């Protein structure tokens, strides 16, 4: 029962989607604009940098909170922290309250890494920022980060159950980014530099 409650708690926390909430407050559905993704990158493209940063920070915090609270409430459950964190990522990607159409899990993955080890979070964040800026595509970050963290977790803990859960969610994250990879191949995927330039244009228009 504790395993079920731990997973359910993480999943429900994952359903709290700031991208969707912000867009509804503005009178539209973020999933009907831009890339159609209810996450920070699409919010940045559609609503601007401040909204994008808020969304990313919120999603990181919710996954961190889900992991931390689970470890406190269910100390007898092995890998409760990872279990709830992974459930939060799944709840973010497939939220029942949004007809299973949410985000792609990047920021939530960051929250899980942060709850596991802040030093590893900073190191992985730095490495992924360098990678993203080098290739100029944000969609590379989530799949590569998920795979790297799964390997790091396995190496540091030797925990087969947590590793399997992370491996499963890595596959889900990779699957959610297939369309991005297809757009890269076709030359239609938005570059990081384009997103920031576009937001400068959005902000300029909003002032007039």
Which residues neighbour 107 within 8 Å (Cβ) at sequence distance 6 or greater? 39, 40, 55, 56, 57, 58, 59, 60, 63
Nearest to residue 141, comparing CAs of 153, 129, 126?
Answer: 129
Q: How far apart are CA 125 and CA 140, in angstroms?
A: 13
Structure tokens at 28: 């539209």
Structure tokens at 7: 């997973």
pLDDT of the chain along its 208 residues, tens only? 889 999 999 999 999 999 999 999 999 999 999 889 999 989 988 998 899 999 999 999 999 999 999 999 999 988 899 999 999 999 999 999 999 999 999 999 999 999 999 999 999 999 999 998 888 888 888 899 999 999 999 999 999 999 999 999 999 999 999 988 888 888 877 777 766 565 554 444 344 4
Q: Are 105 and 173 in contact (CB under 8 A)?
A: yes
CA 136 to chain centre: 18
Listed by start position, the domains of the chain span: 2-202
Specify the pTM: 0.89
Alpha-carbon distance values, 165 to 21, 84, 171 (Å): 29, 10, 10
Q: Read off the DSSP letter of residue 97.
A: G
């Amino acid at each position: 029962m504790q395993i079920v409650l731990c997973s359910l708690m993480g999943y429900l926390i994952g359903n709290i989607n700031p991208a969707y909430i912000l867009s509804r407050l503005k009178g539209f559905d973020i999933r009907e604009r831009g890339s159609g993704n209810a996450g920070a990158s699409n919010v940045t493209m559609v609503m601007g940098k401040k909204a994008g940063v808020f969304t990313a920070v919120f999603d990181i915090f919710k996954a961190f909170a889900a992991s931390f609270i689970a470890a406190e409430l269910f100390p007898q459950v092995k890998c409760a922290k990872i279990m709830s964190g992974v459930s939060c990522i799944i709840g973010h990607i497939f939220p029942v309250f949004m007809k299973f159409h949410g985000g792609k899990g990047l920021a939530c993955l960051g929250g899980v890494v942060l709850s596991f080890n802040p030093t590893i979070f900073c190191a992985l964040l730095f490495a992924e920022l360098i990678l993203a800026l080098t290739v100029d595509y944000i969609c590379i970050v989530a799949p590569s980060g998920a795979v790297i963290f799964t390997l790091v977790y396995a190496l540091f803990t030797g925990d087969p159950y947590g590793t399997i859960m992370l491996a499963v969610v890595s596959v889900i994250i990779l699957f959610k980014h297939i369309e991005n990879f297809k757009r890269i191949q076709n030359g239609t995927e938005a570059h990081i530099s384009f997103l920031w330039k576009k937001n400068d244009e959005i902000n300029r228009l909003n002032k007039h």
